[in-house]
């Protein structure tokens, strides 16, 4: 696993991720910080649980970094994703991308979060006031495992 890509059960520190891509020839560092929101599709979320196949997830995060390097050769990328129980407003993912110019850093950061949702084996369980549900994939295109009190079974 590359040092710039990891899964953690500890709170993520934004500056640690940013420091990995800070360099003298970067005129832009774009950060994306994904947090746990309270309401999703009108349902009040109490908290989320993330699980990952850690070894594979870290390899896939690194793969995304390589894809970014192919598309934006001057980019440097770092990605950290948290697992475990996350409360409302907790940070779930931090992506930092540095490039000489801002447009590339914006595009590469957006690319990274979309690819994470597509290919990285990380699952979330949403806990609501009236039940819970495992999400099948982070893009929410695949049905997850129904959980206690889940009305969408």
* Secondary element (H or E) of residue 109: helix 102-119
Higher pLDDT, 105 or 147: 105
pTM of the predicted structure, to 2 decimals: 0.88
How many structural domains does the chain have? 1
The confidence score (pLDDT) of residue 139 equals 55
CA distances from 125 to 44, 80, 122, 147 (A): 14, 19, 10, 9
The confidence score (pLDDT) of residue 41 equals 86
- Let me know if residue 143 belongs to a domain: no
pLDDT range class, residue 82, cuts 50, 70, 90: very high
- CATH number for the domain spanning 45: value is 3.90.1170.40
Q: Containing domain of residue 88, as a range?
A: 2-136
- Let me know if residue 25 belongs to a domain: yes
- Let me know if residue 149 belongs to a domain: no
- Let me know if residue 145 belongs to a domain: no
pLDDT reading at 65 higher than 80? yes
């Amino acid at each position: 696993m590359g040092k710039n890509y990891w899964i953690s059960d500890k709170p993520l520190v934004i500056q640690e991720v940013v420091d990995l891509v800070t360099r003298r020839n970067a005129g832009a560092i774009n950060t994306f910080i994904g947090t746990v929101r309270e309401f999703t599709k009108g349902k009040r979320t109490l908290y989320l649980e993330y699980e990952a196949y850690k070894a594979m997830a870290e390899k896939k995060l690194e793969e995304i970094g390589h894809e970014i390097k192919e598309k934006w050769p001057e980019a440097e990328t770092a990605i950290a994703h948290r697992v475990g129980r996350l409360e409302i407003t907790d940070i779930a993912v931090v992506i930092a991308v540095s490039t000489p110019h801002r447009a590339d850093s914006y595009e590469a950061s957006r690319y990274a979060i979309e690819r994470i949702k597509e290919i990285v084996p990380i699952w979330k369980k949403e806990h609501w006031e009236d039940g819970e549900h495992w999400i099948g994939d982070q893009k929410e295109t695949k049905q997850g495992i129904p959980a206690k009190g889940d009305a969408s079974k």
